[in-house]
Structure 1
Amino acid sequence: MKQLVYLLLLSLLVVAGNIKVEAAGFKDVPEDHYAYEAVLWAEEYAIIDGYADGTFKPNAIITEQQFAKLLANYYELESPYDELKKQTPAANWADDYYNRLASYGVPLNGYLHNQIRAAAIKRGVVAQAITHLAEGKRGLNDSIQFLLDSYISTGQNEQYENRDLQKFFGVANNMTRAQVVTLLHRMDSRNFYTISDDAQSIYENQSNASLNARAINAQHQLDKSMQQGIATKSIWEGTYTYYYKWGKGANDFNRRDAIISNATTKTFDISITANDGQQSGSVDGKATMTSSTKAVMNQSVNGNRCVLEFEQLKNALKIIEVDCRSEHDEGTNFSGTLKKQ
């Protein structure tokens, strides 16, 4: 159906003489531009839009948040009920796109940081993100090979062909807006519309993982050479989870998720969610170190009393709640030992 509409649209855009043909609304994408057909297609299906001055800026370096928008629009990903709790809390125009991608576990860097979202995205990250949705979870090399084998992308450095896959593909290079649209157009022409089983399973979320937990797991799916700003700074930092299914009913489970970030020698940021069947709650705050393995939080970011004691165990985190009634549903607390993911 997409191809039929696209062909009809092209037929309406044919003009006589020497008049320059442009993609509708984009005065800087003439007919002789290599990405003209791809941009025309992407605009028709509302995958892209341009700038206020009527340009698309096809040769501009694409940022991760711009790529996130295009990828979420291409797959028409649904928005989750939850929202990411970012470490840079200011509202960002790409928030909804990142919420959608996090719910499918798409490997990206900028889920929790507005600054990282605004940085240029590397070709290696693009390869892993696309492959995750189109084929399933893959490492960097397997993701590149998938794009090459499917004729979605080609390498950049011929001298490395059949010698060094990553250098041949140019994993550390930036991409332009036109290049990314061309990739998506090739995916469309090869009928890559279906979301992979891996991504769909993460979206269905049978383990009831929080959106932040899924985002962090997605970040760490990226090859270490492609990760930006998410390296662990201390033994405290990371995602900790407890899950116990005690019955066959949809609500017969207990779950705790804790995310520790921005750890220093004195403090760390903590975000916790808890769900006990029908009861649920969450709390965010800052804990203060009392020793090398222990810390305490006395109030939430909302200014409410909430006393939580933390103890760092081997690959686990012990949490004891003293009083956080103002921060969660009655009958739910944050106590327990959570395994580091």
Structure 2
Amino acid sequence: MKKLVYTLLFSLLVIVSGDKVQAAGFKDVPEDHFAYDAILWAEEYDIVNGYSDGTFKPNETITEQQFAKLLSNFYELEIPYDELKKQTPTANWSDEYYNRLASYGVPLNGYLDNNIRAASIKRGVVAQAITHLAKGKSGLDQSIQFLLDYYISTGQNPQYENRNLQKFFGVTNKLTRAQVVIILHRMDERNFYEISQDAQAIYENTSNASLNVRAKNGQNQLDPTMRLTTPTKSAWEGTYFYSYKWGKGATDFNRREAIISNATSNSFNIFITANDGTAAGSVDGTATITTSNKAVMNKSSAGNRCVIEFERLTNALKITEVDCQAAHDEDTNFSGTLKKQ
């Protein structure tokens, strides 16, 4: 983050109203608020903004999507070319932030579900997400210890100190908006604003994994006790992926991905992409379920002839393209067995 002389920052951002001093733009953050300095800093660097009524609501519990915005802004994460294909397809204001975080493989729960995004985030998830970007891929205990070692965050239950790290930290507890801003402010003060090599490597994406796959890998990095998942409507639903790299060249790879959503007892929506070196193709449509583990699609959503057969295996999906040349680029097809992510 860019550094400025703090006295200049203070003079530019403080508003005096009568005898009450408040953070610029936030009428509910007085000078004596415990997070005043941190919120002042975060506002200056466009990490946070308030509500339309001029408040910041510092003591309000923070949701995962609010945290996603703050974390993306703090690290100034790049915007990827791809976009997530969500299970809840309705556009959401947080989409751009989750797209950014997914491209770096950040451990979060709400990538594919707007409802999970709107839920309060747990301290354990915050610890893993921050540590992933600041230090690299880390388990829950490693992430907590990182925050404690650098006094970025503290424990909440002293009776468990040196006895149970997770209970001491309070991994299942929630945070307020002010508490998260303080954590990010301390990250900045300790110069933890450079992106870790692990996260950068995921962004560079030499394996050509899609954004959904990188998001799913981020979810899987979360400790099992921290995961929230959308109840599966059907055994068909999910993201399926295959990747093979046979050489060191940038185009020496094969990749297949299939995303099944909106499954019923009779059909499901399917979106498939394929890359074979320099050739790439994609198609989406609706498949009809013919037996408990087989389905077929006859045309794409664009109305082109596209006959593809699907077989659901144990944690995998077998795709056989019968005739779909009118729906995708030449030199690619969608055949293969993909592993469920």
**TM-score of the superposition, structure 2-length normalised?**
0.91
* 1:30 lines up with 2:30 in the alignment: yes
Structure 1 residues 187-246: Cα deviation after superposition (integer angstroms, max 9, x where no partner): 001000111111111000000001111111111211222111246676645443222334
Q: Counterpart of 1:166 in 2: which secondary structure?
A: helix
Structure 1 residues 122-154: Cα deviation after superposition (integer angstroms, max 9, x where no partner): 111111111110111111122111111121100
Distance 1:48 1:244, change over 3 A: same
Which residue number in structure 2 is paired with residue 44 of structure 1? 44
Distance 1:135 1:18, change over 3 A: same
Q: How big is the shift at 1:33?
A: 0.4
Q: CA separation in 1, counterparts of 2:282 and 2:15?
A: 60
Q: Which consecutive residues of structure 1, in runs of 5 or more, have no partner in the other structure?
A: none
Q: Counterpart of 2:53 in 1: which secondary structure?
A: coil
Identity among equivalent pairs (%): 76
Which residue number in structure 1 is paired with residue 282 of structure 2? 282
Which residue number in structure 2 is paired with residue 94 of structure 1? 94
Q: CA separation in 1, counterparts of 2:41 and 2:62?
A: 18
Structure 2 counterpart of 1:329, one-letter code: D
Moved more, 307-316 or 133-142: 307-316
Distance 1:172 1:15, change over 3 A: closer
Q: How big is the shift at 1:56?
A: 0.7
Q: CA separation in 2, counterparts of 1:101 and 1:15?
A: 34
Computed over aligned residues only, the root mean square deviation of the Cα atoms, in angstroms, reads: 2.5
Q: Counterpart of 2:318 in 1: which secondary structure?
A: strand
Structure 1 counterpart of 2:28, one-letter code: D
Determine if contact 1:109/1:230 at 8 Å carries over to the other structure: no
Q: Counterpart of 2:163 in 1: which secondary structure?
A: coil
Q: CA separation in 2, counterparts of 1:89 and 1:125?
A: 24
Which residue number in structure 1 is paired with residue 242 of structure 2? 242
| Paired residues, number | 341
Which residue number in structure 1 is paired with residue 167 of structure 2? 167
Q: Counterpart of 1:320 in 2: which secondary structure?
A: strand
Structure 1 residues 58-105: Cα deviation after superposition (integer angstroms, max 9, x where no partner): 111111111111000000000001111112112111111111000000
Distance 1:63 1:326, change over 3 A: farther
Which residue number in structure 1 is paired with residue 57 of structure 2? 57
Q: Which consecutive residues of structure 2, in runs of 5 or more, have no partner in the other structure?
A: none
Q: Counterpart of 1:4 in 2: which secondary structure?
A: coil
Structure 1 counterpart of 2:135, one-letter code: E
Structure 1 residues 279-322: Cα deviation after superposition (integer angstroms, max 9, x where no partner): 21223344343334323233444554432212234553221012
Alignment of 1:51-90 (within 5 A): 51-90=51-90
**TM-score of the superposition, structure 1-length normalised?**
0.91
Structure 2 counterpart of 1:129, one-letter code: A
Determine if contact 1:236/1:312 at 8 Å carries over to the other structure: yes
Q: CA separation in 2, counterparts of 1:15 and 1:322?
A: 69
Distance 1:12 1:213, change over 3 A: closer
Distance 1:206 1:140, change over 3 A: same
Distance 1:310 1:27, change over 3 A: same
Alignment of 1:168-207 (within 5 A): 168-207=168-207
Determine if contact 1:210/1:273 at 8 Å carries over to the other structure: no
Determine if contact 1:213/1:259 at 8 Å carries over to the other structure: no
Structure 2 counterpart of 1:157, one-letter code: N
